[in-house]
Chains A and B, each alone.
Chain A
């Protein structure tokens, strides 16, 4: 059951969007976020929506995957929208009952915020759907590398990220195994009272921690044996090369941004 969770869900493919240089993809996503948050008219969101839909179409990933990405956050989004509905008091009153007042502005702000966040989630999902986590980590490391000059441990953070990514499937598998083993000893994990379940979680967490420490220790030795000594002087097998299409994509994003500013 744990195996069904896939962090950062990546759908391998070779669409134009998949093939874009991850650094450019990150920058474009950044522009897109600014675009969504800069304008405060519905038409601005419309421009963002058009941009997202074109990109989704080009990625050849089914639209329903994007609906799925929004789903887990839906309750949170709805609560925010409802709060906005009650707490925005400016504008003409549409509805009044005892102390509850709903104004036309409240309705429009609620909808606006809701759509904005939806678009934000869909756009960033597009980034993770079309870029493998390891490539993304790599792109972040390279984009942030100027920060090394002011002593930000960019390489170390990226190495931590990529090792975490490497070990997530291993740890999920291990958790599954330990859970089965404790269930075989009669531990109630999916049923029973809250207290028994909490207590039984210990029987899973302790072995998991111990084995993670052992793994970390062995991995550190193995890395040392392969001459790891930090980011200094490292070369990379993964070469990131930008192609004309990356610049074109960037240009399109900028055009959308400018349109957004003008009409906003």
Chain B
């Protein structure tokens, strides 16, 4: 598979006030993301994960280093709209990214901006709404929707652009458990059925556990990059930087620490129960 996103030696500092030293938020990130990958970027608040996300579709431009998406450099101002059609972005607060007071018109917003003709636009908007299971709500006002529904509308607005990848910056942080489930289900389906590359920024370990690959960030660096199983098996390291591991993983780790023979890469409750059962069944 070819790489859709390539990040090379990315450094970034926010411009500092006069007389103050700029603080470096990203300290030399190297990352390659393959087409069709479902990846989570896990990190605590202030780890630099959102800053990294904003580099992928050119909201922020590297202080040094390069970011390319599908061969387009994010620093290339002339191609910024091409870039944004390929890499769509969904933000944390569902309220602050919905522009129109009618659901279907909001989904059409990007297409209107791009000058897509009516018939094509109608088709794409309807399909995007069906993809996120919100077609029945197309004439509603966003004010009548729940947080999870609003977030799905925001996702539909991005899908309508037919992007190759979607970057989601903590899309579930403000939602209730029901809304989180709905949004995660939609994201997973977009990845499986449409082959869209997903970069999910989150601090929820249960969401990261559903991905193919997890990148853990701390203080502007990538410190772990592997499958969720492998990442969570570093229980101590993950907890040390202020993140959680699944309780099943932690329990297995505690047992192993006490000298019992338990596999290292447990993340589900079934695996954990199985391992415990085996301990009690041995002679």
Interface residues of A (CB under 8 A from B): 133-134, 162-163, 165-166, 169-170, 173, 214-215, 218-219, 221-229, 233-239
Q: Would A225 and B88 be within 8 Å (CB), given that A170-B143, A237-B112 are in contact?
A: yes
A-side contacts of B115, CB under 8 Å: 233-235
- How many Å from the CB of A234 to the closest CB on chain B? 5
Contacts A166-B100, A229-B113 aside, 12 further interface pairs with beta carbons under 8 A come to A166-B101, A166-B142, A219-B96, A219-B97, A222-B89, A222-B99, A226-B161, A233-B115, A237-B112, A237-B118, A237-B125, A239-B118
- How many Å from the CB of A107 to the closest CB on chain B? 47
- The answer to whether B117 touches A219, judged by C-beta atoms less than 8 angstroms apart, is no
Most buried by B among A165, A226, A233, A235: A226
- How many Å from the CB of B132 to the closest CB on chain A? 16
Most buried by B among A215, A234, A237: A237
Give the dominant DSSP class at B's interface: helix
Q: Which residue of A is nearest B57, CB measured? A: A225
A-side contacts of B84, CB under 8 Å: 224-227
Contact stretch, chosen from B102-110, B183-191, B205-213, B221-229: B102-110
Number of interface residues of B (CB under 8 A): 40
**A134, A215, A234: which contacts B95 (Cβ < 8 A)?**
A215
- The answer to whether A218 touches B97, judged by C-beta atoms less than 8 angstroms apart, is yes
A-side contacts of B96, CB under 8 Å: 214-215, 218-219, 222
Q: Which residue of A is nearest B143, CB measured? A: A169
Q: Which residue of A is nearest B107, CB measured? A: A237
Cα distance, A237 to B95, chains bound together (Å): 21
B-side contacts of A166, CB under 8 Å: 98-101, 142
- The answer to whether B101 touches A162, judged by C-beta atoms less than 8 angstroms apart, is yes
- The answer to whether B91 touches A218, judged by C-beta atoms less than 8 angstroms apart, is yes
- How many Å from the CB of A224 to the closest CB on chain B? 7
Q: Which residue of B is nearest A135, CB measured? A: B102
Interface residue? B217 (CB, 8 A): no
Interface residue? B93 (CB, 8 A): yes
Q: Would A227 and B114 be within 8 Å (CB), given that A218-B91, A222-B91 are in contact?
A: yes
Residues 123-169 of B at the A interface (beta carbon under 8 Å): 125, 141-143, 154, 157-158, 161
Mark contacts of B7-37 with chain A using CB atoms, 8 A cut-off: 1 yes-contact digit, 0 otherwise: 0000000000000000000000000000000
Cα distance, A228 to B81, chains bound together (Å): 9
- The answer to whether A237 touches B113, judged by C-beta atoms less than 8 angstroms apart, is no
Cα distance, A134 to B104, chains bound together (Å): 13
Residues 53-100 of B at the A interface (beta carbon under 8 Å): 57, 59, 81, 84-85, 88-89, 91, 93, 95-100
- The answer to whether A225 touches B89, judged by C-beta atoms less than 8 angstroms apart, is yes
Q: Would A165 and B101 be within 8 Å (CB), given that A225-B57, A234-B113 are in contact?
A: yes
Q: Which residue of A is nearest B113, CB measured? A: A227
Interface residue? B116 (CB, 8 A): yes
Cα distance, A48 to B91, chains bound together (Å): 52
A-side contacts of B99, CB under 8 Å: 162-163, 166, 219, 222-223, 226
Interface residue? B121 (CB, 8 A): yes
- The answer to whether B121 touches A235, judged by C-beta atoms less than 8 angstroms apart, is yes
Interface residue? B111 (CB, 8 A): yes
Q: Would A169 and B116 be within 8 Å (CB), given that A219-B97, A219-B99, A226-B84 are in contact?
A: no
Cα distance, A224 to B99, chains bound together (Å): 11
Most buried by B among A162, A219, A222, A227: A227
A-side contacts of B118, CB under 8 Å: 235-237, 239
